[in-house]
Amino acid sequence: MTIVGHFINGQHVADDQRTQEVFDPALGTATKRVALASAATVTAAIASAEAAFPAWRQTPPAKRARIMFRYKQLLEDNAERLCALITAEHGKVLSDAMGELQRGIENVEYACYAPELLKGEHSKNVGPAIDSWSEFQPLGVVAGITPFNFPAMVPLWMWPLAVVCGNTFILKPSEKTPSSTLLLAELALQAGLPPGVLNVVNGDKEAVDTLLDSPVVQAVSFVGSTPIAESIYTRGCAAGKRVQALGGAKNHAVVMPDADLDNAVSALMGAAYGSCGERCMAIPVVVAVGDAAGDALAQRLTAELSRMKVGPGTVAGNDMGPLVTGAHWEKVRGYVDAGVGEGATLVVDGRNVQVAGGAEGFFLGGCLFDRVTPEMSIYRDEIFGPVLCIVRVQSLDEAIALIDAHEYGNGTCIFTRDGEAARYFTDRIKVGMVGVNVPLPVPVAFHSFGGWKRSLFGDLGAYGPDGVRFYTRRKTITQRWPSSGVREQAVFTFPSNQ
């Protein structure tokens, strides 16, 4: 069986003393194994990045950007190969994998703008013959820990921007979906990225702890569940690192009585069930304002679910593939069982979905609950599966209060034709990313991604302007050249521009 190893200093490294199975979720069988890096291997990757940093730091931003231009082309040339690896290990349909990759490529395009992004500010004559300016300098060796659900896009949120800012990078992808991420690193080397600037170590907690405890690693980016995000943030900060840790979500979609229901339902289907619900920006909760809206939503979503095609992601025309692992399948199915036990109305039951040739795969059909209340676990918890809950309220203010009371504040949206209601909602809601008639308000690459409350630990979000700030330090330089031959008297007052 093939073993997926590591990529350090431009070379493949085995270190396969410990391994873990990697599954094809549509078949339910292990197709390869992934090596789990020892602390020594992670330390070797850190040393490689540290050795590469001095030369890379002095590489002109324009030259770094040219490598990113070549890398973008290589990603596009190898898109089918990358997406096939994503689908084989995650299970998402190929069209969804292609959409993920394209959003990642957009972040590479933003990184190509490095010469402009890293321009400082200059002020002449801030005082007598005194000039002042700022520079944005790299941190050094930085690391990223990425999740299984976006094995191409989330790494491309992190390392391209980090390296064009002059840092070197250690990437620790999910051990569930390692192959596409490893190919990303191989293509970067082909694009001209020097060995050691980007290193990939596959692994588990041992690899993560080594990165967090290393005094060489200056910053850590993380995307995953909230408990782990909080732990990484706490441990990383205690070690003196800069940390951005993106956690979980429970995103709500508010449907107003005046909403275009046909288009809202179509949007909600994709937002709730796309990628089998394994997205931190998925919509697992619909807040219907008024019982008429709730009844209409339940009826129309039921009809749409009857037409949704569930099956292997490699089969053209399928809308939803399997969940990523058998353990996750059990967890999500357990939440559906709990929702029934807690008294919610299971309008559509996907637990016994039949998939031709997929009897052993990790398939769960789309599930729809109505009459869900805030104390239920299916409302409180991030399920990360194809489970959509309808909650009924009587006013927009009640909907806002409901959303604001939840511990997560990642994303939300509102469906309405009323501009006043939309403006009221977007201004008052305590959530980091908000859509108006847009169900997945994931910011484009030249903005930044980040939620509020327990969805983000740290002051800066991912990619875009926040990413540049996260991966650089501002240095301000004040300079004076006094006239030659003039002796000046000592000044004991605090300097000012008076």
Q: How many CA atoms lie within 13 A of 437 on its CB side?
A: 13
Q: What is the DSSP string of 232-272?
A: HHHHHHHTT-EEEEE-----EEEE-TTS-HHHHHHHHHHHH
- What is each CA distance from 131 to 124, 274, 342, 492, 495, in whole angstroms? 5, 55, 68, 21, 14
* Strand stretches in 14-79, DSSP E: 19-24, 29-35
Q: Is 276 an active-site residue?
A: no
Which of these is catalytic: 280, 367, 389, 413? 280
- Close Cβ partners of 261 (under 8 Å, ≥ 6 residues apart): 255, 293, 296, 297, 300
Number of residues assigned to the chain: 498
Distance CA 271, CA 412 (A): 11
- What is each CA distance from 382 to 206, 278, 331, in whole angstroms? 26, 10, 11
Distance CA 189, CA 255 (A): 47
User: What is the residue whose two structure tokens read 């001095």?
Assistant: 54
Ramachandran bin of 205, using left for φ above 0, alpha for ψ from -120 to 50, beta for the remaining angles: alpha
Structural tokens at position 213 = 């405890």
Structural tokens at position 12 = 């493949």
Ramachandran bin of 33, using left for φ above 0, alpha for ψ from -120 to 50, beta for the remaining angles: beta
Sign of the C-alpha dihedral computed for residues 64, 66, 68 and 70 taken in this order: negative
- What is each CA distance from 177 to 1, 31, 324, in whole angstroms? 16, 12, 9
Structural tokens at position 56 = 């890379």
Structural tokens at position 355 = 């998939």
Catalytic site positions = 280
